[in-house]
Each structure stands twice: as C-alpha cells, then as structure tokens.
C-alpha cells in the first residue's frame, strides 16, 4: 500500500490486531460505583437536569413533610380543644341538671367522634395514675379557668390518666360509701382489680374522671381521630401540577442554558470539516458572547494560517516546476539515450512527488461544494477504473453491498479517497474487495471496507502508516510504491466529511481498510 508495504518474505499471515479494551465510562473514572454508572447521563444537559430535579424533589419532599407535620399538629390541637370544651360543657350540663335527669340529659347530648361520657359511681381513672403530659394539662387548666364560677359548680376532683384497654373497663371500683362522699374527700382504690394501667396518657387516647359534689363521677373517654394531612384532593392535585410545572421549567431552562455549548460544539465540528465555515453569532449572555468571540477569533486565525500556507506552497510549486522544466529541456539534448531516459524518469518522478505533496498540503477538496450523490455508483466507477488500469487483476476486484445509497459529500474528493484505498489494496495486496454497509440506524455512519490478499501489516504500524511520507518499504523506488501520501490524503478527505479510516488485519489474512462516512 501507499505507505503500507508488506513485510518481506512473510511465512504466515499477520495475526489480527488485539482488540482494544473497552474504555471505562467517564463516570466510573470519577469514582461513581459501577452499578450506578448507567443512571448518570452522559450529556451535560442531562447531568444538570438530573441534579436540579433531584434537588427540587428533596426540597419538595422536605416542604411537604413540614406542611404535613404542621397540619397534624393543627388538627390535633383543634380536636383537643373541641373535646375539652365539649367535656366541660357536659360537666356544666350535669351539674346544673337535677340528679334524676342527669342520665337522660347525658344520653341526649350529641358528642363529637372520639368522645364518650358516662355517669358512674366510681372514677374510671384511679388515683395515683401517671402524670399526664403537659399538653393535656394545659388544655384542661385553661378550660377550668374559663369556667370559673361559684365553687359549687366546679369539679371537686379531676383525674386524667391513660385510656384503659376494653378488658379493663369492667373492673371499676365499688361506689363510694356515704361517709366518703364529702367535698374534698376521695378514696384511693388503686388500679382496677389489681391490674396495672398503661404508661402516661397520650394526647390521642386518654380518660378523665370529674367528681361531682354528691360523689358521682363523670367519666370521659377520649380517642382522638387520626389526623389526615392529605385529606384534600385539590391540595395533592395542586402539588402535582406545581411539581410538574417546576420540572418542565427546569428542563426548559437547562436546554436553553446548554444550547450555547451545543452550538459551540457544532461550530467546532463545522470548522474541522470546512475552514471557511460561517462564524458563530456573538449574542446571548456575557460568558456565551465572549466564548463565541474567542472561537471566531481562533477560526479567523486558522483561516489566515491556512491561506498563508496555501499561498506559500503555490509559490514553492511554481518555483520548483521552472528548474524541472529547464532540466527536462536540457535532457532532451543529451546524446546518451540511456542517460536521457533515466534523467527524464527521475524528473517525472520528482514532478509527481511535488504535485502530490502540494495537493496534500493545499487540501483542494475543502473548497469543493458538498452535494447529494449515489455512493454505490461512485464506488463502481472507482472499481471500473481500477479494472481498466489492472486488467490482470480483474477477477480480484469486486463489489458487495446495496444497489443504491445516497450521501452528502464532495464527489471529486471522495472519489479520490476511495481510489487511494483501492489502489493501495491492488498495489500491495493484489486484490480489492470493496464492501459497502448501509447505516444500521439513523444517525450512524455508512461503513466502507476494502480488503486485499496481502500478508497484512505489523500491528505496531497500523497507525503509523497514516503519517505523511511513511512507508514500510524503505526505498523510494516508485515501482514498489508511491510517495507515501495515499493513506494520509484519504484520511484527510474522510475526516473532512466527518468520518474516518483505519487499518486492520483481517482474521482470514490480508489488510482491511475500514472507512466510515456520515449519511
């Protein structure tokens, strides 16, 4: 090949190049555990959106929790205040009613859910019960102060304790004897039937016993309903709408903020394909405008450098062709035919090398417009030209692939790149089997393969042969190879189209040039 000659006198086909180890994901290199690598987006927009959405979720969850706790406290406080007020309302009703009508009045009173009342001869809460928590004591003391009045209307004694299980409610102590039914006197009967009561009363479940002046007890049992922080359907709907709106705004803002980075990447890709690509608009936020201005300045410097180099090479080519022309004219007047033939051959080789070098340095293909073309027809044209140039190898030249494949490319430049690959395969592998594979999915490139029958290339030289003037055969004899610019020119053309070309050693033997081209 041009820049990739076979090894001298090979005894066996070159071994296939060892497959490169797959690159570890970028997130794994940053210390993220391997099982979580697939959760971490690859794009900057995805990562930014994920971090913002996670933060929004945590803030929403914290706010929702605080709201729920506040609603629970408020509901419990409202229930406790209502039950406390109704309890003392019952007390006043019982105190002011005649003794024979108390039971009937108590049965007719409508009580809120969770509150039951009974008029008994014994207290439901024994003396010596655990001290109630401060919230319960505060509620009752407040209502007791609000119910201030004559002493005869006030409870003789108030006991507050834990609510006993249902199996303990039947074990009430016996009624008070008459001698103990005096104001200010109580009798301690201890826990009902010797059973221990539970721990200190809770705010949601407790019992109260209020002693009347005649010795009867108004026993109250309180089971506060469990709070419902999410009972409002409109609240949950509003919360869902708010969360969706915040998430949508976050995604929109991230896309807007990341757009300049994407535009900069697209501009850099266009500049890599076409040095005369249009500049970026220097608009937007200050940082974006500064980045666009810096990129445009860099692109202008590159264009100026390329223009200066092209102008310099054109001058060099003109200056070199003048003495070559003079030497060719002088060689025509030589008497020795053999020496004249050799000198003319050397001058022709020198002129061909100069032409190839200038073409590689100028990269004239960059100025060619890109059009839609049939890649299959272009490949067949290159193979037909190769068959005409090498009729003895016509049976070793073949095509495999689809019958039609349209791509956007520069036809002259792309034809030259494919011709270089086919020519190298014929020169050094005595065969050129071209295989074209259409893009397997939208957004993926077309694959073009050129295989030969040669012994292959040493693995260490697979990339080195793309260096300009690099040849595995050290002599500069044109009969054994070109100038070493065929593969570099092909790679430059394909990369200018957004693709690439690499060399491999086929498992069945021979070298394989694999080129990719975006659709």
Q: Which two tokens stand for residue 320?
A: 């070199």
Which of 97, 93, 96 is CA-nearest to residue 117?
A: 93
The Cα–Cα gap between 311 and 326 comes to: 23
Alpha helices, DSSP H, located in 333-451: 337-362, 375-389, 411-429
The tokens describing 313, both together, are 């090479």
For residue 380, the model assigns a pLDDT of 93
Dihedral over Cα of 137, 141, 143, 149: its sign:
positive
Measured distance CA(342)–CA(346) in Å, rounded: 6
Residue 188 or residue 279, greater confidence? 279
Model pLDDT, residue 203: 57
Cα angle 131-132-137, degrees, rounded to a multiple of 5: 125
The yes-or-no verdict on residue 479 having pLDDT over 80 is: no
Is residue 414 over pLDDT 80? yes
Helix or strand (DSSP H, E) at 517: strand 511-517
Q: Band of the pLDDT at 135, cuts 50, 70, 90?
A: low
- Residue 384 resides in a domain: yes
Residue 45 in domain: no
Number of domains making up the chain: 3
Whether 22 is in a domain gets the answer no
236 found inside a domain: no
State both tokens at 122.
Answer: 């014994």
**Contact of 48 with 257, CB cutoff 8 Å:** yes
Quick one: 412 and 481 in the same domain?
A: yes
Residue range of the domain that includes 437: 367-517
Lookup result for tokens 């050693």: 505
Residues 448 and 344 in one domain: no
Q: Residue 27 domain-assigned?
A: no
| Domain match, 375 and 402 both | yes
The two structure tokens encoding residue 178: 């008459």
Closest CA to 76 of 184, 213, 174, 222: 222
* CATH, residue 330: 1.10.287.130
DSSP alpha helices (H): ranges in 97-166? 102-108, 134-146
Q: SS3 of 219, please?
A: strand
Do 283 and 160 fall into the same domain? Answer: no
pLDDT at 514 over 70: yes
pLDDT for 198: 46
**What's the CA gap between 421 and 417, in Å, rounded?**
6
CB burial string 95-129: b at 16+ within 10 A, e below = beeeeeebeeebeeeeeeebbebebeebbbbbeeb
What percent helix, strand, coil does the chain show, rounded to 5?
Answer: 55, 10, 35
403 and 438 share one domain: yes
Do 296 and 309 meet the contact criterion of CB atoms below 8 Å apart? no
Q: Do 93 and 215 reside in the same domain of the chain?
A: yes
- Where residue 196 falls among pLDDT bands split at 50, 70, 90? very low
Q: Which of 39-43, 330-334, 449-453 shows the lowest mean pLDDT across its residues?
A: 39-43
Q: Kindly state the average pLDDT of the residues 478-489.
A: 67
In a domain, 152, yes or no: yes
Structure tokens at 412: 């002259």
User: Cα separation of 434 and 418, whole Å?
Assistant: 10
Flag whether 435 is in a domain.
yes
Q: In this structure, which long-range contacts are made by residues 367-371, counting pairs with CB atoms below 8 Å and at least 24 apart in sequence?
A: 367/276, 368/410, 368/411, 368/412, 368/413, 369/410, 370/408, 370/409, 370/410, 371/408, 371/409, 371/410, 371/411
- What's the pLDDT score for residue 139? 58
Q: Are residues 303 and 384 in the same domain?
A: no
Are 268 and 386 members of one domain? no
Residues near 4 by Cβ (< 8 Å), separated by ≥ 6?
424, 428, 457, 461, 465, 471, 472, 487, 503, 511
Q: Are residues 203 and 76 in the same domain?
A: yes
User: Which of the listed residues 170, 203, 223 is the one where a domain comes to its end?
Assistant: 223
Distance of CA 427 to the CA centre of its chain: 49
- Report the distance separating Cα 160 and Cα 410, nearest Å: 95
Task: Give the CATH number, domain containing residue 400.
Answer: 3.30.565.10
- Whether residues 80 and 121 share a domain: the answer is yes
Three-state secondary-structure class, residue 216 = coil
Q: What pLDDT does residue 66 have?
A: 86
In this structure, the answer to whether residues 267 and 312 fall within a common structural domain is yes
Q: Among candidates 424, 428, 425, which has minimal Cα distance to 485?
A: 424
- pTM higher than 0.85, yes or no? no
Closest CA to 436 of 412, 411, 402, 413: 402
Mean pLDDT of the chain: 75
List, for residues 367-385, the tens digit of each pLDDT value: 678 889 999 999 999 999 9
| Predicted pLDDT of residue 342 | 84
Q: Considering 332, 362, 392, which residue would you say is the last residue of a domain?
A: 362
CA atoms in the 13 A half-sphere facing the CB of 83: 25
The 10s digit of each residue's pLDDT in 14-41 is 333 444 444 444 444 444 555 555 677 7
For residue 112, tell me if it sits in a domain: yes
Among 342, 362, 382, where does a domain finish? 362
- Which residues, listed in sequence order, are joined to residue 448 by a DSSP beta bridge? 436, 515
Domain match, 380 and 512 both: yes
Distances 233 to 75, 197, 226 between C-alpha atoms, Å = 17, 40, 18
The model's pLDDT over 80-128, given as tens digits with 9 standing for 90+, comes to 777 777 777 788 888 888 888 888 888 888 887 778 888 888 888 887 7
Q: Are 130 and 162 in contact (CB under 8 A)?
A: yes
Give, as one character, the DSSP assignment of residue 169.
T
Give the residue carrying structure tokens 């009613």: 97
* pLDDT value at 148 more than 70: no
User: By mean pLDDT, which of 35-44, 46-55, 273-282, 312-321 is the weakest?
Assistant: 35-44
């Amino acid at each position: 090949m041009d820049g990739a000659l076979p090894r001298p006198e090979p005894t066996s086909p070159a071994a296939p190049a060892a497959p490169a180890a797959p690159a570890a994901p970028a997130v794994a290199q940053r210390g993220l555990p391997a099982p979580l690598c697939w959760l971490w987006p690859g794009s900057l927009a995805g990562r930014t959106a994920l971090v913002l959405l996670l933060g929004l979720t945590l803030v929403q969850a914290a706010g929702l929790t605080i709201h729920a706790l506040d609603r629970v406290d408020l509901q419990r406080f409202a229930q406790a205040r209502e039950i406390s007020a109704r309890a003392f309302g019952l007390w006043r009703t019982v105190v002011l009613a005649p003794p024979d009508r108390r039971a009937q009045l108590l049965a007719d009173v409508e009580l809120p859910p969770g509150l039951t009342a009974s008029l008994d001869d014994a207290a439901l809460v024994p003396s010596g019960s655990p001290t109630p928590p401060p919230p319960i004591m505060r509620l009752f003391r407040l209502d007791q102060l609000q119910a201030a009045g004559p002493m005869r209307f006030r409870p003789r004694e108030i006991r507050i304790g834990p609510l006993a299980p249902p199996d303990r409610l039947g074990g009430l102590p016996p009624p008070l004897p008459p001698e103990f039914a005096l104001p200010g006197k109580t009798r301690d009967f201890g826990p009902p039937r010797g059973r221990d009561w539970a721990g200190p009363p809770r705010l949601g479940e407790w019992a109260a016993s209020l002693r009347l002046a005649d010795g009867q007890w108004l026993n109250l049992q309180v089971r506060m309903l469990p709070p419902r922080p999410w009972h409002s359907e409109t609240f949950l709907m509003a919360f869902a709408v708010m969360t969706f709106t915040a998430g949508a705004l976050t995604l929109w803002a991230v896309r807007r903020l990341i757009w300049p980075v994407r535009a900069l990447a697209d501009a850099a890709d266009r500049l890599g394909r076409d040095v005369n690509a249009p500049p970026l608009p220097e608009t937007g936020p200050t940082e974006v405008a500064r980045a666009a201005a810096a990129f445009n300045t860099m692109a202008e410097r590159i264009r100026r450098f390329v223009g200066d180099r092209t102008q310099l090479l054109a001058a060099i080519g003109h200056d070199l062709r003048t003495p070559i022309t003079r030497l060719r004219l002088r060689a025509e007047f030589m008497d020795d035919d053999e020496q004249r033939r050799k000198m003319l051959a050397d001058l022709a080789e020198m002129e061909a090398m100069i032409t190839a070098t200038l073409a590689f340095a100028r990269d004239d293909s960059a100025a060619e417009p890109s059009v839609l073309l049939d890649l299959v027809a272009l490949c067949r044209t290159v193979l037909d030209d190769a068959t005409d140039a090498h009729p003895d190898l016509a049976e070793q030249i073949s095509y495999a692939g689809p019958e039609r494949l349209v791509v956007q490319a520069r036809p002259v430049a792309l034809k030259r790149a494919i011709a270089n690959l086919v020519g190298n395969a014929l020169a050094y592998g005595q065969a050129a089997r071209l295989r074209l594979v259409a893009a397997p999915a939208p957004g993926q490139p077309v694959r073009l393969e050129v295989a030969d029958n040669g012994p292959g290339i040493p693995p260490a030289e697979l990339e080195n042969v793309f260096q300009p003037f690099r040849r595995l055969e050290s002599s500069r004899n044109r009969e054994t190879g070109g100038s070493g610019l065929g593969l570099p020119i092909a790679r430059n053309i394909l990369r200018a189209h957004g693709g690439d070309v690499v060399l491999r050693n086929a498992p069945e033997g021979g070298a394989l040039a694999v080129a990719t081209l975006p659709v």
